[in-house]
Amino acid sequence: MGLLSGLGKLGLNGLENIDIFEDEEKKKQKDKNKEASKAPVGPTEEEIIYDRTYECPVCGMSFSSKTVKSGKTKLLGTDPDLRAKYDIVDPGKYDVVLCPRCGYAALTRFYDKLTHAQAKLIEEKISPVVAVPEYNDPIYTYPEAIERYKLALANAVVKKARASEKAYICLKSGWLLRGYREKLQAEGKADAKTTAELEKQENEYLQNAYKGFVDAVQSEPFPMCGMDEMTVNYLIAVLAVRFKKYDVASRMVATVLSSTSANARMKDRARDLKEQILMEMKKSK
Task: Check residue 77 and report its DSSP letter.
Answer: E
C-alpha 201/C-alpha 195 separation (Å) is: 10
DSSP assignment of 34-78, as one string? HHHHHSPPPPPTGGGEEEEEEE-TTT--EEEEEEEPTT-S-EEEE
Q: What average pLDDT score do residues 235-255 get?
A: 97
State residue 152's pLDDT score.
97
For 18-64, how does the pLDDT look when each residue is reduced to its tens digit (9 = 90+)? Answer: 666 666 666 666 666 666 555 557 899 999 999 999 999 999 999 99
Q: Give burial (CB, 10 Å; 0-12/13-18/19+) of 190.
A: middle
For 214-234, how does the pLDDT look when each residue is reduced to its tens digit (9 = 90+)? Answer: 999 999 999 999 999 999 999
For 79-96, how does the pLDDT look when each residue is reduced to its tens digit (9 = 90+)? Answer: 999 999 999 999 999 999
For 130-157, how does the pLDDT look when each residue is reduced to its tens digit (9 = 90+)? Answer: 999 999 899 999 999 999 999 999 999 9
State residue 24's pLDDT score.
62
State residue 176's pLDDT score.
98
pLDDT more than 70, % of the chain: 86
C-alpha 80/C-alpha 256 separation (Å) is: 15
Distance of CA 49 to the CA centre of its chain: 15
State residue 42's pLDDT score.
80
Q: Is the pLDDT of residue 274 over 70?
A: yes
State residue 35's pLDDT score.
64
For 31-42, how does the pLDDT look when each residue is reduced to its tens digit (9 = 90+)? Answer: 666 665 555 578
Whether 228 contacts 260, CB under 8 Å: no
The mean predicted confidence, pLDDT, of the chain is: 92
Looking at the chain, how many residues does it have?
285
Q: What is the pTM of this model?
A: 0.85
With CA atoms as reference, report the closest residue to 169 among 146, 154, 149, 189.
Answer: 149
List b or e across 77-96, with b for residues whose CB sees 16 or more CB atoms inside 10 angstroms.
eeebbebebbebbbebbbbb
pLDDT more than 90, % of the chain: 83
Residue 188 backbone class (left: φ over 0; alpha: ψ -120 to 50; beta: rest):
left
Whether 162 contacts 109, CB under 8 Å: no
Spell out the domain ranges in the chain: 46-223, 228-285
